[in-house]
Amino acid sequence: MVPGYAGWYEVSDRGNVSSLPRAATAGGALVPQLNSEGYRVVRLSKYGRVRTVTVGQLVLRAFAGEPEPGQRARHRGTRDDDSLGNLYWG
């Protein structure tokens, strides 16, 4: 489950993000894009509001909880690996 998007999107501990089936969509895997800093991002939409978020942030929020103030999703290794074992809040 993606916090704030329960029933809309799911994220796995391997960094795969999927849209769940609902009236407006059949659902399916989202294809991440690279942002200008080289991080994988997806666009989430709910009630007409579209938000671009990093996949690393989604994985950490789903499996490690919310960050402390001022913390960001960090990678231990390469930026294109959004698996839980490669991420931490820092």
Task: List pLDDT tens digits, range 15-45.
Answer: 999 999 988 789 999 999 999 999 999 999 9
Owning domain of residue 41: 1-70
Q: Quote the pTM value.
A: 0.93
The predicted pLDDT at position 89 comes to 98
The predicted pLDDT at position 23 comes to 84
In-domain check, residue 78? no
Tokens of 88: 């931490």
Specify the DSSP element, H or E, that contains 53.
Answer: strand 49-54
In-domain check, residue 35? yes
Spatial CB neighbours of 22, under 8 Å, sequence gap ≥ 6: 7, 8
Phi, psi of 8 (to 5 degrees): -115, -45
Q: Number of structural domains, the chain?
A: 1
CATH number, domain with residue 42: 3.90.75.20
Please give the Cα distance from 77 to 65 (Å, whole number). Answer: 21
The predicted pLDDT at position 25 comes to 85
In-domain check, residue 90? no
pLDDT over 70, % of the chain = 100
Residues 58-66, mean pLDDT to the nearest whole number:
97
